[in-house]
Structure 1
Amino acid sequence: MKVDKRSAETDPADKTLSAQAAFVSYAAPLVDHAIESAGLLREDASPEALHKLRVALRRLRSLWWAFEPLLEKGENTRQRALYQDLATAAGKTRDWDILIELLAQNENTTREGAHDIAPKLQEARCSALASSRETLSNADVKHLLHEALASTAKELNTAHERMPLRQFADQRVAASERTLRKRMKRARRAKRANYTAFHNVRKAGKKLRYLLEFFEPILSGDHKRMLRRLNQIQKRFGTLNDVVASEVLLHDNAALFAGSGDTDAALQWLRKERKRRMRAAAGLLRKL
């Protein structure tokens, strides 16, 4: 099935549209961007290129979540899983980039010999990149995403009921805000070492931020204050997640660096940095 290009050109800010009719106008540009980013990865292996692809796929997953109430549950779950799998493939290389960047920023680990593992880190990064490229190439991203878009658009366009776009957007943003507030409340009560509670806040905040970016022109009310909060959460909790993921990655792959330098200094610094950033994240939660 081919997607009606006229639907993709529809202005999603048109308040007279139904949510079903507006879907393609939101989804088609995201699909095109993800396909373009995946194609560029063959030529550009920079951290920024990988980050752009992963973000594009995350935005697609969030959009499909937003339209979940209008879609058959099983199919929607499969589509979101597809975007998650593709993002994970791209993310494997990105995780090494973050670890390398973090260790390069720390003077103490450099003095203590952790810089000796730098060549091995680059080798691991190259190996992950080759795996990412192979996975994304074999997956035929262009075909998969076009197929997902066409399938979902067909389901929505053949639905008997119609829901006003503004009403739909307001409801989905409100639901996402409730989820974020609940997770923030749990994280405030959680023990300091409970990273999962903090991670859940980050995920809920990211999802809400994407929805506000999608629907902001047609939403009721002013969401500027919430966006400012989300930017704070994204920055503070994002840096925490980078350290936690890097610590796990280095620990799980310690065997790769045997004989190439002392990884203990790097792991020790990452542990200290994790605790520091956990305190910072907890402090932000108390203020919000």
Structure 2
Amino acid sequence: MNRDSGMVDEQSAASDPASEARLAQEAFASYAAPLVGHATELAAAAREDASPEALHQLRVSLRRLRSLWWAFEPLLEKNENARQRALFQYLANAAGKTRDWDIAIELLTQQDSGASDIVPKLQEARGIALATSRETLSNADVKHLLRDVLANTSRELNTAHERVPLRKFATQRVDASARSLKKCMKRARHAKRSDYAAFHDVRKAGKKLRYLVEFFEPALEGGCKRTLKRLVEIQKRFGALNDVVASEELLHENAALFAGAGDTDAALQWLHKERKRRIRAAAKLLR
């Protein structure tokens, strides 16, 4: 990996020798096919499994697919690639609606939140969201949809005239993602604490870079352990902040649902206080 990324500073003895000769176009399916298979299995399981973890793992899998398609964007037709990534985002959002309610319930059942009286309403809303998520994913026919996207993208790559060595391509894409993260961190470092959008951009950029490093690690020249450790910590802290912000938004957007159900103001006050605490924790990683 190019050290211009500023993220990697140790050599790896685990680089795949075969990656020297591999082409990016030929390697695509080896990355994409397992992800598509896993997402298909999770979508099928989500129809039967109402647990928070099932839909969470489906959303993560779809986000990883979106990042992989972003990585191969320079080798693909731009508009079609954007459409495919939008599809992954749509499906991830469908799964994520229920997950957002799960997070809110988990947060507001904490003893000091003062919001235990509105939890039944949260659980009721979660049940409605689950039914909607399942219907959306079922109507989308995730299995055939993802397989078609995989087949079309693989065909486009395999019939293209341009051929790029995997190691060169992977290094360029990881470095591009790393530069994006550094820019986002710089903006967030100088942003007001009330500017959540700047912090949210760090979270998204860090998550994308983590996925790309995980995809391409065997093909990269530099070691990635310290990089991944750093990215996991960024994702953890900025993700914890996002959980609180998303829960605040849910309560505001569904205020009518909680009318007469309990002290919503107490819940919002606790979430606001928790947001400040988590912003401070996330900001420490920007130094």
Superposition TM-score, scaled by structure 2 size: 0.92
Please report the RMSD computed on the Cα atoms of aligned residues, expressed in angstroms. Answer: 1.1
Match of residue 5 from structure 2: none
Q: State the Cα distance separating 1:225 from its structure 2 match.
A: 2.1
Match of residue 174 from structure 1: 175
Match of residue 4 from structure 1: none
How is 1:225-244 mapped onto 2 (pairs within 5 angstroms)? 225-244=226-245
How is 1:1-288 mapped onto 2 (pairs within 5 angstroms)? 14-15=18-19, 16-105=21-110, 107-110=111-114, 114-286=115-287
Q: Which amino acid aligns with 2:94?
A: A
- Separation in 2, partners of 1:155, 1:43: 35
- Separation in 1, partners of 2:146, 2:244: 32
SS in 1 for 2:65: helix
Structure 2 residue ranges without an equivalent (≥5): 1-15
Superposition TM-score, scaled by structure 1 size: 0.92
Structure 1 residue ranges without an equivalent (≥5): 1-11
- Over 3 Å counting, the alpha-carbon distance change for 1:63 and 1:198 in structure 2 is same
CA deviations over 1:71-125 (Å, ceiling 9, x no partner): 00000000000000000000000000000000112x2334xxx212111111100
* Larger RCO, structures 1/2 (Cα 8 Å, 6+ apart): 2
Matched residue pairs, number? 271
Q: State the Cα distance separating 1:262 from its structure 2 match.
A: 1.1
Q: State the Cα distance separating 1:161 from its structure 2 match.
A: 1.3
Q: Which amino acid aligns with 1:48?
A: E
- Separation in 1, partners of 2:126, 2:18: 45
SS in 2 for 1:160: coil
Q: Which amino acid aligns with 1:100?
A: I
SS in 2 for 1:14: helix
Match of residue 7 from structure 2: none
SS in 1 for 2:163: coil
- Separation in 1, partners of 2:186, 2:120: 43
- Separation in 2, partners of 1:161, 1:283: 44
Regions of 4+ moved over 4 Å: none
- Separation in 1, partners of 2:220, 2:66: 21
Q: State the Cα distance separating 1:13 from its structure 2 match.
A: 7.3
Q: State the Cα distance separating 1:182 from its structure 2 match.
A: 0.8
- Separation in 2, partners of 1:117, 1:228: 38
- Separation in 1, partners of 2:89, 2:67: 10
- Separation in 2, partners of 1:279, 1:19: 41
Match of residue 11 from structure 2: none
- Over 3 Å counting, the alpha-carbon distance change for 1:262 and 1:59 in structure 2 is same
Percent identical among aligned pairs is: 75
